[in-house]
C-alpha cells in the first residue's frame, strides 16, 4: 500500500517550479505533423528559449527543476551543463518523449535508463527525479513506478490527478505519496472543488485561464491545504514566434498556440507573487 507523506507547513512554504525541456515539435498535440524520425531535420528553438528562462530565473533569484529529454541533451550538452551551473536541479524527462502508457515495460526501462545515464554523464550531476512525457503514468501502467525506482530515481513527478482526454489519474492522491519501493510520487498541483480535482499546476491551463485564477488556486493550496504546489511549463510556451503548423484541427491549435505571447509576463508575476525552489529542496524532508 502507498501512503501519503507530509510537506512542511505554511510560513516556510516554498513551491516547486519545474520546466519540461522539450521543443515545439515534440509535443503530443502536434505529433502527427512531426514524426519522430524527422525530428533531426526540424529547426530547433530550445536553446534560445531555455536561455531566456535561465536569464529570467537568475534575474528573480529563483532556482527550479528542469526535466530534460535525453534527445535534447544529446544535441545540446552545453545547455544541460548551463542548467546545472546556474544552480538548478536536473531531472529526466525520458529519452524520446514516448508515452509510458504506449510502451512495453521493457521499452520503458530502456528509455529511462538511457536518459538517466546520458544526463548524468553530460552534466556530472545525479539525476534523482523523473517525469513521464504527458503525465502518462496512470492506472494502465501499474509496473511503471517500480521500474523508475529500479533505474535509480528517488522520486517521480509523473501523475496528474485530474480527468483529461490525453492523460490523468483522477483517483490518485493529490499530494506526495510513497510507494513500497521507496520511490516518492510528487503529483502536479490540483484544487479540489465541487467534488472534483481541477488543474492548478501550469501548462496549458496556465495559458488558458486568467492569471488571477491561477494565483487564487496556488494561494488556496498553500493556505487551505498547507501544501507546496508543483508547477510546470515548457520552453516553447514563452515563444510566440515559433513556426506555426497549418491545417491543425481547432482543438489542437487552440491548446498549443493560445496566449503564447502572454506566458512570459504571467511567469514574471508568478515568480514575484510566490516563493519557489527546486523539487529536491522543496521536498527535501520527504526525499
C-alpha 248/C-alpha 33 separation (Å) is 9
Q: Among the CATH numbers 3.20.20.370, 1.10.10.10, 3.30.365.10, 3.40.50.620, which is that of 3-282?
A: 3.20.20.370
Structure-model confidence comparison of residues 99 and 10, the more confident one: 99
Mean pLDDT of the chain: 93
Helix (H, G, I), strand (E, B) or coil at 59: helix
Q: What is the pTM of this model?
A: 0.94
In the structure, what pLDDT confidence band is assigned to residue 13 with cuts at 50, 70 and 90? Answer: confident
Domain ranges of the chain: 3-282
Instruction: State the cell numbers at 108.
Output: 520503458
Q: How do residues 153-180 score in pLDDT, each as one tens digit?
A: 999 999 999 876 566 688 899 999 999 9
Structure-model confidence comparison of residues 7 and 114, the more confident one: 114
Q: How do residues 52-76 score in pLDDT, each as one tens digit?
A: 999 999 999 999 999 999 999 999 9
C-alpha 93/C-alpha 105 separation (Å) is 16
Task: Report the number of secondary-structure helices (H) and strands (E) in the chain.
Answer: 10, 12
Q: How do residues 89-110 score in pLDDT, each as one tens digit?
A: 999 999 999 999 999 999 999 9
Distances (CA, A) of 270 to 16, 184, 194, 219, 225: 12, 26, 26, 11, 19
Distances (CA, A) of 287 to 89, 93, 94, 125, 201: 14, 19, 21, 17, 21
Amino acid at each position: 500500500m502507498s501512503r501519503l507523506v507530509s510537506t512542511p507547513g505554511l510560513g516556510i512554504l516554498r513551491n516547486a517550479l519545474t520546466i519540461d525541456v522539450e521543443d515545439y515539435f515534440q509535443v503530443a498535440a502536434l505529433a502527427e505533423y512531426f514524426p519522430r524520425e524527422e525530428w533531426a531535420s526540424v529547426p530547433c528553438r530550445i536553446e534560445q528559449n531555455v536561455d531566456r528562462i535561465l536569464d529570467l530565473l537568475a534575474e528573480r533569484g529563483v532556482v527550479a527543476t528542469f526535466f530534460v529529454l535525453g534527445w535534447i541533451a544529446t544535441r545540446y550538452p552545453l545547455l544541460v551543463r548551463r542548467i546545472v551551473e546556474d544552480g538548478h536541479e536536473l531531472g529526466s524527462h525520458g529519452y524520446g518523449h514516448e508515452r509510458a502508457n504506449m510502451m512495453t515495460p521493457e521499452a520503458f526501462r530502456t528509455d529511462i535508463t538511457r536518459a538517466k545515464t546520458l544526463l548524468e554523464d553530460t552534466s556530472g550531476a545525479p539525476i534523482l527525479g523523473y517525469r513521464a512525457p504527458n503525465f502518462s503514468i496512470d492506472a494502465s501502467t501499474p509496473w511503471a513506478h517500480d521500474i523508475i525506482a529500479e533505474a535509480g530515481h528517488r522520486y517521480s513527478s509523473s501523475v496528474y490527478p485530474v480527468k483529461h482526454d490525453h492523460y490523468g489519474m483522477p483517483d490518485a492522491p493529490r499530494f506526495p505519496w510513497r510507494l513500497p519501493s521507496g520511490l516518492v510520487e510528487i503529483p502536479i498541483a490540483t484544487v479540489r472543488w465541487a467534488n472534483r480535482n481541477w488543474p492548478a499546476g501550469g501548462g496549458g491551463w496556465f495559458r488558458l485561464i486568467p492569471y488571477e485564477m491561477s494565483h487564487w488556486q496556488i494561494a488556496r493550496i498553500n493556505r487551505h491545504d498547507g501544501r507546496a504546489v508543483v508547477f510546470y511549463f515548457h520552453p516553447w510556451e514563452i515563444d510566440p514566434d515559433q513556426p506555426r503548423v497549418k491545417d491543425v484541427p481547432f482543438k489542437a491549435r487552440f491548446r498549443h498556440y493560445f496566449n503564447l505571447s502572454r506566458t512570459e509576463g504571467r511567469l514574471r508575476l508568478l515568480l514575484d507573487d510566490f516563493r519557489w525552489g527546486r523539487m529536491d529542496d522543496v521536498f527535501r524532508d520527504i526525499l
